[in-house]
């Protein structure tokens, strides 16, 4: 692969919020954002108006983001995560099972249209942080908790690359689910990412905009944090305390909250395919606090929560019961993707290159 610059990476970024009354941007720390201080309201730094902060008013994190410069786009490494080991080739064909399901429930014409739409989708690349957070989100929100993911490092084509001017705001324009036709004359459309590494610039691109890729399977086999016996002892103590409380609760009969929870679970189990083969032991919150403190130093609260929720999804997707020690081991093998990103990026940059043009 030709020499690509790496951008600085951090999972401890803050946010900028836009104001509806004036053009000023108001910074907001990740902690305040996560804790939704003041019922998610802050005063605008420009005019003092009250801003109800959240995704709907998320602004560009860096107003001078170098990715706004067309020439810069081809000089840096872009990232993507996928469950396909041959992205973007494999991901562009609709899986046979999906096509069969469509044919069963739609007219053959509608099924054919769905397939054409799938195969005409634009591809997406973003910062390292956006790619990793995309994986975490898919794990918890899209039933991919147990899936094998791959990280891709992407070089864009240098010659004749047509880039749309400026950037699109996902809040007001289509950006995340574009077809190649939606790209118009452009090969590359910049957009403000609101879901993954919110406030960063991602790109919707034509497959032909990709010059080359490198790939690595996640978690990275050679990058695993240690699991100290002292940590396992603490986890054991948390588990014992948790079981004791559970037993006490059972003795006193179910609380109204328990009854509600059971109702929700029963409804979920009624949907076929969502029933785990073996009932999973639940993961107490204090257990996660221990793991987050040990394995995710320097990671912001919103990203920690996303990571933890992805790990819960992994836990729930396992067909056999996962013991606490195995869970801690998995947590310790995934965390370096966030905390040792420099090593991850060195490893992927040393990987063999798949060239497309
Ligand atoms: Zn204002």
| Same domain assignment for residues 217 and 308 | no
Give residue 50 CA to ligand 1 midpoint distance, Å. 8
How does strand 168-169 pair with strand 188-193?
parallel
Q: Phi and psi at residue 195, in whole multiples of 5°?
A: -110, -40
Give residue 203 CA to ligand 1 midpoint distance, Å. 29
Domain of residue 267: give its range.
Answer: 229-339
9: nearest Cα among 126, 125, 124, 129: 129
In total, how many domains does the chain have?
2
| Same domain assignment for residues 133 and 148 | yes
| Distant-in-sequence, close-in-space partners of 354: CB < 8 Å, separation ≥ 6 | 212, 213, 214, 215
| Distant-in-sequence, close-in-space partners of 247: CB < 8 Å, separation ≥ 6 | none
- Interatomic CA distance for residues 125 and 76, integer angstroms: 12
Q: Does residue 71 lie within any of the structural domains?
A: yes
Q: Phi and psi at residue 85, in whole multiples of 5°?
A: -85, -5
Determine the pLDDT at residue 252.
Answer: 80
Give residue 344 CA to ligand 1 midpoint distance, Å. 41
Give residue 174 CA to ligand 1 midpoint distance, Å. 25
Per-residue confidence of the chain (357 residues) as pLDDT tens digits?
889 999 999 999 999 999 999 999 999 999 999 999 999 999 999 999 999 999 999 999 998 899 999 999 999 999 999 999 999 987 777 778 888 888 888 888 888 888 888 888 899 999 999 999 999 999 998 889 999 999 999 999 999 999 999 999 888 887 777 888 889 999 999 999 999 999 999 999 999 999 999 999 999 999 999 999 999 999 999 999 988 988 888 888 777 777 787 777 666 555 544 444 344 567 888 899 999 999 999 999 999 999 999 999 999 999 888 889 999 999 999 999 999 999 999 999 999 999 986
Give residue 49 CA to ligand 1 midpoint distance, Å. 5
For residue 296, how far is the Cα from the chain centroid?
16
Residues with CB under 5 A from ligand 1 (ion): 19, 21-22, 24, 44, 46-47, 49
Q: Does residue 4 lie within any of the structural domains?
A: no
| Same domain assignment for residues 209 and 136 | yes
Q: How many CB atoms lie within 10 A of CB 157?
A: 18
| Same domain assignment for residues 124 and 257 | no
Determine the pLDDT at residue 114.
Answer: 83
| Same domain assignment for residues 282 and 194 | no
Determine the pLDDT at residue 267.
Answer: 66
């Amino acid at each position: 692969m030709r020499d690509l610059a790496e951008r600085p990476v951090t999972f401890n970024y803050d946010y900028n919020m836009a104001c509806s009354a004036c053009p000023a941007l108001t910074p907001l720390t990740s902690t305040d954002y996560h804790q939704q201080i003041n019922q998610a309201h802050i005063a605008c730094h420009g005019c003092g108006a009250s801003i109800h902060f959240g995704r709907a008013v998320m602004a560009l994190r860096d107003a001078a983001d170098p990715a706004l410069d067309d020439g810069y786009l081809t000089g840096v490494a872009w990232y993507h995560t996928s469950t396909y080991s041959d992205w973007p080739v494999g991901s562009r064909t609709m899986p046979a099972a999906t096509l069969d399901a469509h044919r069963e429930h739609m007219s053959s014409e509608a099924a054919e249209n769905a397939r054409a739409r799938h195969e005409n989708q634009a591809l997406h690349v973003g910062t390292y942080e956006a790619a990793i957070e995309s994986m975490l989100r898919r794990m918890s929100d899209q039933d991919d908790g147990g899936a094998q993911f791959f990280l891709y490092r992407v070089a864009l084509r240098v010659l004749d690359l047509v880039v749309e001017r400026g950037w699109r705001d996902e809040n007001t324009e289509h950006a995340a689910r574009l077809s190649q036709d939606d790209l118009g004359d452009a090969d590359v459309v910049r957009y403000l990412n609101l879901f993954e590494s919110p406030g960063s610039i991602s790109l919707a691109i034509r497959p032909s905009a990709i010059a080359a890729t490198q790939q690595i399977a996640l978690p990275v086999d050679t990058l695993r944090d240690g699991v100290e016996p002292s940590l396992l002892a603490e986890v054991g103590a948390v588990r014992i305390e948790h079981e004791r409380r559970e037993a006490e609760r059972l003795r006193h009969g179910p609380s109204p909250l328990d009854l509600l929870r059971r109702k929700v679970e029963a409804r979920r189990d009624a949907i076929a395919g969502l029933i785990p083969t073996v009932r999973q032991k639940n993961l107490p919150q204090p257990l996660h606090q221990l793991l987050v403190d040990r394995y995710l130093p320097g990671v912001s609260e919103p990203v920690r929560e996303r990571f933890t929720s992805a790990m819960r999804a992994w836990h729930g997707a396992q067909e056999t019961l996962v013991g606490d020690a195995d869970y801690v081991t998995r947590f310790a093998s995934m965390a370096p993707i966030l905390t040792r990103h420099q090593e991850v990026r060195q490893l992927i940059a040393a990987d063999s290159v798949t060239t497309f043009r």
